[in-house]
Amino acid sequence: MAVSVHSTARRYAIVGTGAIGGYYGACLQRAGQDVHFLLHRDYNHVRQHGLKIESVQGDFTLPQVQGYRRVQDMPPVDIVIIALKTTQNAALLPILLPPLIGPDTTVVTLQNGLDIEGAIANMAPNNSLLSGLCFICSNKVGPGHIRHLDYGSIVLGTYHPQRHPAGTTPTLEAVAQDFRAADIAVELTEDLYLARWRKLIWNIPFNGLSVVLNATTQEMMASVHTRQLAAALMHEVVAAANGCVQKVTPDRDRSLTPQVIDTMLTHTAQMKPYRTSMKIDFDEGRPLETEAILGNPLRAAQWAGVVTPRIEMLYQQLKAIETDLVINKIFPV
């Protein structure tokens, strides 16, 4: 099913009003879209004071937003944006998603990691499923308060259950049109699976090392040793990606080139000092997205017969840290 391509205003539901959902949802509302936010701890604050966005592209406030405690109270929508942490998917999505899905609803997930769409597709098997990769430095710094530090673009593609390129569709174009009208840069990809691997070239080393080394991006890039380690991890991600796409589609030329590594390292060195999303979760005692960002890619590499010892070591270090946090009851299982 598809959203209406010709509609000038579509109704959106934001599931996960945090650093990602809060920012992009606020931009969509500011641009005139009908946006409905599912809220949790900051429900009362947002209902009274709205959303406050501090952004490198200009600060703004939405004094009034349509906020809800329960999905059952939300109206039917054209598009559901899932911006939860992947650690919440198993527990929350089976409860939150079905009430929002109608026969023509499009689901858009804005989440990190690899192979995270399958469970969502199973809950909405007859609906269009789009997936977006957010290249943004954004933090939630208080109730209803989002701080956008840098970047902000989205790579948006259509999910294909066999991990094949899915091309572009009118639904994909329509959602991209709404985001662009909200001053959000959107790049469409015909190959979502490869695009996810491309983002992991950055996410695996810098999210993982930020926790293990207790460091910001600036601190990591200031060390020649950490920079070399990040580059070595990136090379393993490229090898794993190419091994997986070759196994999925042996008759097609789908690959990542190592040149992207130097580009990402240069951009990271120029980035404003930034705590990665995984580091923020660690600092605030929340579960880490270890499985989505490292575990799934590691298992995919093993399936493709690609050896990735540095990724495996980083994964095991993070799992050990998670175990210690659970034992010390910093966050629950």
Neighbours of 246 (CB within 10 A): 16
Please name the residues in contact with 226: beta carbons below 8 A apart, sequence gap of 6 or more.
Answer: 209, 213, 215, 220
The amino acid sitting at 311 is I
Tell me how far apart the alpha carbons of residues 34 and 65 are, in angstroms, rounded to a whole number.
10
Q: Is 199 a catalytic residue?
A: yes
Task: DSSP for 285-333, please give it.
Answer: TPPP-HIIIIIHHHHHHHHHT---HHHHHHHHHHHHHHHHHHHTTSS--
Helices (H), 163-223: 170-181, 192-212, 217-222
191: left (phi over 0), alpha (psi -120 to 50) or beta: beta
Burial class (CB in 10 A: 0-12, 13-18, 19+), 271: middle
Sign, CA dihedral 310-311-312-317, equals: positive
Candidates 52, 85, 199, 279; catalytic one: 199
Alpha-carbon distance values, 217 to 206, 249, 270, 280 (Å):
7, 35, 10, 12
**Residue 130 near residue 158 (C-beta atoms within 8 A):** yes
What token pair was written down for 44?
């009362």
Residue 150 has phi, psi (to 5 degrees) of -165, 160
Using alpha carbons, select from 196, 186, 194, 190 the residue that is nearest to residue 167: 190
Query: So which residues are the catalytic ones?
Result: 199
